[in-house]
Amino acid sequence: MAHKFELYKDKAGEYRVRFMYNSEVMFSTQGYSSKASAVNAIESIKKNGPGAPTVEAEG
C-alpha cells in the first residue's frame, strides 16, 4: 500500500497520527491524550479532507 495513516504513542505518552505516502511522512497531527481522540482525528481527515480547499498563506 502506497499510503497509510500510522497511529503511534510518542515519548511524552501522547497518541499521534502520521499520514505516510511511500514511506515518507506527509503530515502529522498534534498529540492526543487518548487513542480514541487520535482515531477520531483520522476519521475527520478522511471525511473532511477530500473537499478541503487549497489556499495560499500570506506572509
What are the pLDDT tens digits along the chain (59 aa)? Answer: 689 999 999 999 999 999 999 989 999 999 999 999 999 999 999 999 988 999 999 97
Which residues make Cβ contacts (< 8 Å) with residue 51, sequence separation at least 6?
A: none
Q: What is the DSSP letter of 11?
A: T
Q: Tens digits of per-residue pLDDT, 41-55?
A: 999 999 999 889 999
The pLDDT value recorded for residue 27 is 95
Is the domain spanning 3-50 CATH 3.30.160.160? The answer is yes
Is residue 32 within 8 A of residue 38, CB to CB? The reply is yes
Tell me the backbone φ, ψ of residue 32, rounded to 5 degrees: -120, 145
d(CA 11, CA 2): 27
The pLDDT value recorded for residue 34 is 98
pTM for the whole thing? Answer: 0.82
d(CA 23, CA 58): 31
